[in-house]
Amino acid sequence: MTEQTIKETQNARLEKPAGFWNRGLRRLASDRAALVASVFLIVVIAACLIGPSLSGYAYSEQDLTSTYQAPTKAHLMGTDNLGRDLMTRVLRGGRVSLLVGIVGTLISVAIGVVYGGIAGYLGGRADMIMMRIVDVLYGMPFMFVVILLMTVFGRSLLLLFIALGAVEWLTIARVVRGQVLEVKERDFVEGARALGTLTPDILRRHILPNVMGTIVVYATLNVPSVMLREAFLSFLGFGVQPPDASWGSLAADALTAINPARICWWLVLFPCMALSATLLALNFLGDGLRDALDPRFVNR
């Protein structure tokens, strides 16, 4: 083998991951639904970050002289039962919802990747036991256990993060385990092992890059499901506590404000629309990423 070819092989190996991501991004850019979804998400995130300070109202500022006001020029989304500006509260609530979605996902991805990676790499009996545990956990009524946790230890945002992250890692662990199981049998891993590469290096340099696409896809799809769970908990009154708000808790507040005598439709409509549109966009983006990055779709 001449020096030239060695260099070429090295270059080829270095270029391959970049090619994978580039190709994925190009494919994503040609997916109109995913593109619209990502633009929309950027707008939502920016609005939630900057909006509350631009609206001219504080999210907890009460004005008992103007309660239950329908949308006007002064209050674009109307006001709630305590005269608080709904738009400020929706934007502020978006911060909490998005933050829970992202942090919860990071936690569950971390747990899932490590657990699934170990199970897949070890294989054999250890893998069987670890996956059996996952099966048993799958049968658990987790949301009920989380509510139990919230009841007992009080309702804090930190506990919410941990609990939701701990609930959502199962699917990722399964997917990662399957991928690792497949990748570790490939020739280049065998080759690395034959060259005496240490196990941590094999995991980091050879296996992780090959599973990365799948992890990104499932992490993206994980965000809306964590947000959905947060909304579920907040709606029932076990999530964020007043005066703080999330989209779920705003929807729950609206429920107490509507009755046949006074239909405050804006209190229902705006939080629900914000949550639904964001979830929809995240799902579109996730589907687009799957088409773009899933190994089974690459080279097709």
What residues line the site for other proteins (CB under 8 A)? 136, 139-141, 143-145, 147-153, 224, 228, 231-232, 235-238, 248, 251-252, 254-255, 258-260, 263, 265, 268, 272, 275-276, 279-280, 283-284
Q: Which is nearer to other proteins, 133 or 208 (CB)?
A: 133
CB of 174 to other proteins, least distance (A): 14
CB of 268 to other proteins, least distance (A): 5
Distance CA 128, CA 192 (A): 26
Q: Which is nearer to other proteins, 141 or 196 (CB)?
A: 141
CB of 229 to other proteins, least distance (A): 10
CB of 29 to other proteins, least distance (A): 21
- Which residues, listed in sequence order, are joined to residue 85 by a DSSP beta bridge? 79
Q: Which is nearer to other proteins, 45 or 228 (CB)?
A: 228
The three-class DSSP label of residue 185 is coil
CB of 149 to other proteins, least distance (A): 6
Q: Which is nearer to other proteins, 183 or 233 (CB)?
A: 233
Q: Which is nearer to other proteins, 172 or 192 (CB)?
A: 172
Q: Which is nearer to other proteins, 94 or 224 (CB)?
A: 224
- Reported as half-sphere exposure (CB side, CA atoms, 13 A), residue 115 has a value of 22
Q: Which is nearer to other proteins, 212 or 272 (CB)?
A: 272
- Reported as half-sphere exposure (CB side, CA atoms, 13 A), residue 19 has a value of 9
CB of 260 to other proteins, least distance (A): 6
Using CB atoms within 10 Å of the CB of residue 295, give its burial: 0 to 12 exposed, 13 to 18 middle, 19+ buried: middle
Cβ partners under 8 Å of residue 190, min gap 6? none
Count of Cβ atoms closer than 10 Å to residue 210 Cβ: 20
CB of 228 to other proteins, least distance (A): 6
